[in-house]
A and B are shown apart, each in its own frame.
Chain A
């Protein structure tokens, strides 16, 4: 039981890293980016290729995955996403669906459609027994890494100059411009960091979630759930939503496999209808 709880939390932490970038673009910038999962997939493939083909140590590939996807994100933001910021939600959806299809078919072409297997280093494999609770070392590692990331992100968002510039740009783009904030740059950096985090999440999750070309479609709804349930008030909202979702998914699939699959979707619809701003929304 406790092991399951532990797995659920680890899974939730992973979802948080994967979707916190989307929490910013969708939740704060109001841009519906269904292609968010494609960045996660890119990060996953970077790690798999580097470890399996070039023998780079797993831990060293993580920052590379982050930087590589952040660069791709920055490039795409400049070239493609920027003109879409002010378009209708439908345009944004169509645009990002198009990107998803391109990513899925492109990765299929380059890497093949089979599931990629990531060779974890020895010291992250196996389990330890602590006070009678079996704990997977890799899952413990995930919780630590993702926990640190969550705290750092929240501090950046709430304590730094950049964080307040971002919040100002989101609240009122024109006024933010008026007081001299370079809104475009702020958005570009945010988008790149969000993509990079997705890439890092994809790299960390390649072992647990599985990595194949349909990854962006398979997990799209999960990311959207985290954002819509978590709201956009702070990183903690998204974190809480991720952990709840992770727990619900792991426990649901274990104890009530017959309904576990769609309970989370019903929760999503209920939250959206009853509290469109998310459960952890800031008071308006």
Chain B
């Protein structure tokens, strides 16, 4: 087992604690996100969508950015979470928070059961297995039209007011605030998990599975645990989508969803939790601008962007963010803070 923080030398514990403090850029981002609710009332629908994409990408970041599990099948968990929340709302209750929980549990269950398939084989096998698993769920949802509505989508999803007070309106006022709150909770939970010895063991596995197992980290259980957590996050993202749109269709399980998540995470960068937020923002802005210019063909430019990104190197945007946050930290808190940011990712 990895030694707990309490038994680590004081210097190490202190350095780790410093490395996990909230950064200036991070706090700024949240202030802007909350300010957007007050000052951009016309954009609430789009903002809610951005947050939804951000959570999907966050779920992928947990498994890819921190544990190094490549996946082309995050839509399996997203879609199952979406359908679970939709069915729960149509048949049990429209109360949103319990629906979110159901979606998260469904996503976690799918991830837990299919996670065992990922333990064998290298990246290539994992990519194909996750792709195949997502395709299986897609086909099941397509065939089981008595349950899911098949190609027509699930009808009768209604979301009750949040806390019994805030109605989900067509302008997305509640939807955005609700989604943002969920994202905040998820990020806080992810921060706690990743700052724990468990979180550090994941990074050890990502960087070198063989050495990680040599120092006594149980590699396979850890991978399944984080894959399950990622699945829960994806399921919550799907449930959130269902609740704010009050509709589920097969799109939630499509390859397109997995690809969207992966693209967004690539644009934003992996391994610092906010890649999804940054990526979703950029992705949605590009989509908005381009679909005004060329309504149906904006995907061409997204594709071009992705190709350019990979050719230039995916690490560049992340490096940019890191450089900016070091600058900012210096501005705000002098030398000690800048060392901390630099230590965050050597």
Residues of A at the B interface (CB closer than 8 Å) are 30, 32, 80, 83-84, 87-91, 93-95, 97-106, 108-109, 113, 217, 220-221, 224, 228, 258-259, 261-262, 265-266, 268-269, 272-273, 276
Contact = CB atoms under 8 A, between A and B. Distances in A.
A106 to B, nearest CB: 6
B314 interface: yes
A102 B132 contact: no
Given A93-B70, A94-B262, A261-B143, A268 B299 contact: no
A98 B307 contact: yes
Contacts of B127: 32, 89-90, 93
Contact of B296 (A98, A103, A108): A108
Given A221-B132, A262-B135, A272-B129, A100 B303 contact: yes
Given A89-B127, A272-B132, A273-B117, A262 B139 contact: yes
Closest 6 pairs between A and B when the two form their complex, measured CB to CB: A101-B303, A98-B306, A262-B139, A105-B300, A102-B303, A98-B307
Contact of B307 (A30, A95, A259): A95
Contacts of A262: 135-136, 139-140, 143
A93 B258 CA distance: 12
Given A105-B297, A276-B120, A99 B139 contact: no
Contacts of B143: 258-259, 261-262
24 contacts: A32-B124, A89-B70, A94-B306, A95-B307, A98-B307, A99-B303, A101-B300, A101-B302, A101-B306, A102-B300, A102-B307, A221-B132, A224-B131, A228-B128, A258-B143, A259-B143, A262-B136, A265-B133, A269-B132, A269-B136, A272-B125, A272-B129, A273-B117, A276-B125
Contacts of B255: 217, 220
Nearest to B303: A101
B121 interface: yes
B142 A105 contact: no
B105 to A, nearest CB: 23
Contacts of B122: 89, 276
B65 to A, nearest CB: 11
Interface in B130-152: 131-133, 135-136, 139-140, 142-143
Given A94-B310, A105-B300, 19 more contacts: A91-B310, A94-B262, A94-B266, A94-B314, A95-B306, A95-B307, A97-B303, A98-B263, A98-B302, A102-B307, A105-B296, A106-B300, A108-B296, A217-B256, A258-B143, A261-B143, A262-B135, A268-B132, A269-B136
B217 interface: no
Contacts of A100: 303
Identify the interface centre among A95, A105, A224: most chain B CB within 10 Å of its CB.
A105
Given A88-B123, A108-B297, A272-B132, A261 B262 contact: no
B340 to A, nearest CB: 29
B123 A90 contact: yes
B121 A265 contact: no
Contacts of A269: 117, 129, 132-133, 136
Given A99-B307, A262-B135, A273-B117, A94 B300 contact: no
A98 B135 contact: no
A113 B295 CA distance: 13
Identify the interface centre among B135, B259, B309: most chain A CB within 10 Å of its CB.
B135
Interface string B69-106: 01010000000000000000000000000000000000
Interface in B301-324: 302-307, 309-311, 314
Contact of B305 (A87, A98, A99, A261): A98
B259 A97 contact: yes
A272 B259 contact: no
Contacts of B259: 97, 101
B75 to A, nearest CB: 13
B262 A97 contact: yes
A89 B123 contact: yes
Nearest to B255: A217
Contacts of A83: 311
A109 B300 contact: yes
A103 B298 CA distance: 12
Interface string B55-79: 0000000001000001010000000
B298 to A, nearest CB: 8
A273 B129 contact: yes
